[in-house]
Amino acid sequence: MVKEKSLDEGDSNFYNDSLKNYSTLLSHIKRQFELIMPETFRKIYRMVDGEDIDLNAALEAAADIRMKVPPDEKIYWRRNKIERDVSVVFLLDMSASTAEAIDEGRHTVDDRDAPDDPVEYMVWLRRRREGLVRRHYKRIIDLEKESTALLIHALESIGDNYGIYGFSGYGRENVEFYVIKDIEENFSERIKRRIDKITPLHATRMGSAIRHAITKLENQDSPTKIMFLISDGRPQDRGYSREGVEKEYAVHDTHMALLEAKRKDITPFCLTVDKAGHDYLQEMCGDMGYEVLGDIWALPERLPMLYRQLTA
């Protein structure tokens, strides 16, 4: 049973802080996304009729006449309106494992020779005695949330139709499907506040979440439909199958769900930050697109770039 719920609202500080903290990257993403925005009108050449003469075609026709060869009548150009029509669903893994800290800490020591300046020497001595400890208690889910904020900002700039949902499961009977932004919903302050409440929950039950996401995309008229799955590990949950083969069954069930999406003209793509992802993604995705992100810190940058590549 898939239980769809709207995510609770916090405040919009997380969304706004993410845009501020990644301002340089955001500018880069914006430039990249502008490259895939269609021109309002594009010239179509060599038409039978149109707005004006296609000079190159007209010159070729004149040369043909002089050579007593029947000329091509397509000597006009006209403007053709080009519209971008893409619908996409993003599925965020909200399983308990996304609560893990990415870097529990790094202890570094200033190995330079003692400086002559008395003030610098005291700073150097203190670092030698205490060490310079930098701790990053950022969790996997926090990077997912930051990436979501950047992605939303980018998607709003090009006008693609999109929905963002989180998923988790606990046992055979229950799958939680959280609405961060529904595909039919307009962007608002409410959505900014929902990002703040994305939080780790239970297990990773992908198959059911994928099948429910398919129903979201089936109702869209866009010729291009994409399902983007973002996870930190393999599908896993109690009750997938009998004890002892649950992991294997989970991979096969997810593979079947992805195939069901593909058969309905939906392009699935899986992105994982699990370095062991190669062990199961080939079996899970088959000939469908996937990527194992070697550096988890690159997620906020890589996610929008992958989307640009998929839809360009």
Q: For 186, which DSSP code? A: P
Residue 133: pLDDT band with limits 50, 70, 90: very low
- Let me know if domain 2-38+84-103+138-311 sits in CATH 3.40.50.410: yes
Residue 134 has pLDDT above 60, yes or no: no
**The predicted structure's pLDDT at residue 23:** 87
Residue 162 has pLDDT above 70, yes or no: yes
Q: What is the pLDDT of residues 16-36, one digit of tens each?
A: 999 999 988 888 888 777 777
Contact 187, 148 (CB under 8 A): no
Residue 288 has pLDDT above 70, yes or no: yes
Arithmetic mean of pLDDT, 223-239: 86
> How many Cα atoms are found within 13 Å in the side-chain-facing hemisphere of 21?
14
Residue 255: pLDDT band with limits 50, 70, 90: very high
Residue 126: pLDDT band with limits 50, 70, 90: low
Arithmetic mean of pLDDT, 174-199: 91
Q: What is the pTM of this model?
A: 0.75
Interatomic CA distance for residues 62 and 60, integer angstroms: 5
Interatomic CA distance for residues 156 and 148, integer angstroms: 12
Report the relative pairing of strands 132-139 and 76-81 from DSSP bridges: unpaired
**The predicted structure's pLDDT at residue 202:** 86
Residue 303: pLDDT band with limits 50, 70, 90: confident
Two structure tokens written together for 42: 């594009």
Arithmetic mean of pLDDT, 279-305: 85
Domain boundaries, the chain: 2-38+84-103+138-311, 41-81, 105-136
Q: What is the pLDDT of residues 38-48, one digit of tens each?
A: 555 567 788 88
Arithmetic mean of pLDDT, 70-78: 86
